[in-house]
């Protein structure tokens, strides 16, 4: 049975535990992987063997001895190690080594497509339904996402506010401010935490704080082994990947879109009523410019109780003239 990769350093721990019993060729592989994991992650079994100077079959036996079903399982564990260990500079160096300038657009877009497909194949539909029910039954809803995940939290919070009452997107400028905003969170509430490697400690602390106060916790993260899931009873998994210093958050955004649509379907009448009210407000206060749909005419009129100004062909006038 393949052993689960449940910690960031598990692969390295496995190598150290098995090292004494390894053959000479396997030790060479182990030494290379420990010192060059950022390069090994992108090599096939044959290429890794060629790089180290052993056969492809030795590479496969090496993976099996570590407890994986084969090289694909070993490579997946290596990917998890790399994703959590690489800093921004190393990510950039890895990207330069695997993508040429002429292939950037196609490679990045294709990678995003693959991440959505992978997310669709691994996401727990029962957890998705539980997340919907939990959000709908909550008295207050808090959404937290820090750094690159902040736009996801803001986007989700914007639409949640159209659907539900008492929605707070937690301002994450400092740890103390986070706790101040969560001070009244209780077992009747839910907090939705969004984080991907490299995981934010502030997000984790916010979830721990909420969990300690018996609030329900929903997480949107990249793996069942993510530290985000330590405090969560409802885990939504969306694949993300690194491209240079940029984390691909396309799949997580798609999951958020699905949550918004599902919530709207559950509360159709309320959402329609809200949108009808907002349409009147937007029209009354000219929130959206008519220029987006209609070309600007030659006349522009501003009216109030005292002034009626017409700007057409350079003319301007007052009511009392």
**Residue 209: helix, strand or coil by DSSP?**
helix
Integer Cα distance of 153 and 71 in angstroms: 37
Tell me how many helices (H) and strands (E) the chain has: 14, 9
How much is the pLDDT for 309? Answer: 45
- Please check whether residue 147 is in contact with residue 249, taking contact to mean a CB–CB distance below 8 angstroms: no
pLDDT at 9: 61
Query: What residues contact 144, with CB distance under 8 A and at least 6 apart?
Result: 153, 169, 170, 172, 178, 191, 192, 193, 194, 203, 206, 207
For residue 317, the model assigns a pLDDT of: 47
The answer on 141 and 24 residing in a single domain is no
Residue 36: domain span: 10-85
**Structure confidence by residue, pLDDT tens digits, 251-305:** 999 999 999 999 999 999 998 999 899 888 988 888 887 655 555 444 545 445 4
In this structure, the answer to whether residues 143 and 231 fall within a common structural domain is: yes
Q: Within this chain, do residues 256 and 127 fall inside the same structural domain, yes or no?
A: yes
Give the pLDDT score at 250. 93
Q: Under a CB-based contact definition with an 8 Å cutoff, are residues 23 and 33 in contact?
A: no
Claim to verify: residue 126 and residue 248 sit in the same structural domain: yes
Chain position carrying tokens 């694909």: 72
Q: Is residue 102 part of a domain?
A: no
The CATH number given to whatever domain includes residue 131 is 3.40.50.10490
- If you count them, how many residues does the chain have? 321
CATH of the domain at 15: 1.10.10.10
Considering the domain architecture, whether residues 148 and 256 belong to the same structural domain is answered as yes
Same domain, yes or no, for 77 and 213? Answer: no
Rounded Cα–Cα distance for residues 43 and 63 (Å)? 14
Please indicate, yes or no, if residue 47 is contained in any of the structural domains: yes
DSSP, res 137: H
Place of tokens 């009354």: 284
Which tokens go with 288?
């959206």
Residues 225 and 174 in one domain: yes
Examine residue 225 and state whether it is found in any structural domain, yes or no.
yes
pLDDT < 70: residue spans in the chain: 1-9, 83-102, 175, 241-246, 290-321
Q: Is 150 a member of any domain?
A: yes
- Is the same domain home to 162 and 81? no
Burial class (CB in 10 A: 0-12, 13-18, 19+), 305: exposed
Residues 168 and 266 occupy one common structural domain:
yes
**Per the structure, how many domains does the chain have?**
2
Return d(Cα 69, Cα 81) in angstroms, integer: 18
Q: Is 51 part of a structural domain of the chain?
A: yes
Domain-ending residue, one of 62, 85, 108: 85
Same domain, 127 and 210: yes
For residues 76 and 152, membership in a common domain is answered with no
Whether 165 is in a domain gets the answer yes
- Same domain for 183 and 251, yes or no, is yes
Q: Is the pTM of this model over 0.85?
A: no
Residue 129 lies in a domain: yes
């Amino acid at each position: 049975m393949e052993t689960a990769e449940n910690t960031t350093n598990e692969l390295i721990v496995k190598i150290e535990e098995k090292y004494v019993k390894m053959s000479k060729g396997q030790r060479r592989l182990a030494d290379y992987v420990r010192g060059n994991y950022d390069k090994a992650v992108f090599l096939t079994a044959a290429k890794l063997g060629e790089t180290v100077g052993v056969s492809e079959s030795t590479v496969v036996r090496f993976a099996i001895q570590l407890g994986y079903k084969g090289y694909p399982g070993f490579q997946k564990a290596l990917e998890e190690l790399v994703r959590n260990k690489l800093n921004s500079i190393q990510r950039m160096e890895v990207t330069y080594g695997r993508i040429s300038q002429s292939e950037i657009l196609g490679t990045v877009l294709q990678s995003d497509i693959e991440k959505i497909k992978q997310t669709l194949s691994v996401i727990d539909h029962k957890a998705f339904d539980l997340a919907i029910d939990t959000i709908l039954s909550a008295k207050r809803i808090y959404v937290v996402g820090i750094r690159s995940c902040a736009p996801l939290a803001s986007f989700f919070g914007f639409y949640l506010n159209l659907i539900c009452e008492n929605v707070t997107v937690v301002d994450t400028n400092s740890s103390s401010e986070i706790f101040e905003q969560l001070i009244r969170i209780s077992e009747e509430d839910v907090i939705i935490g969004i984080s991907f490697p490299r995981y934010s400690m502030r997000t984790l602390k916010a979830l721990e704080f909420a969990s300690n106060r018996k609030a329900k916790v929903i997480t949107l993260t990249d793996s069942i082994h993510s530290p985000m899931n330590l405090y969560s009873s409802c885990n939504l998994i969306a694949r993300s990947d690194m491209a240079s210093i940029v984390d691909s958050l396309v799949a997580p955004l798609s999951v958020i879109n699905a949550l918004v649509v599902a919530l709207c379907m559950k509360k159709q009448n309320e959402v329609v009523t809200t949108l009808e009210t907002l349409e009147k407000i937007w029209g009354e206060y000219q929130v959206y410019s008519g220029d987006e749909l209609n070309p600007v005419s030659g006349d522009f009129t501003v009216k109030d109780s005292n002034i009626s100004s017409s700007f057409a062909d350079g003319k301007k006038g007052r009511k009392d003239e």
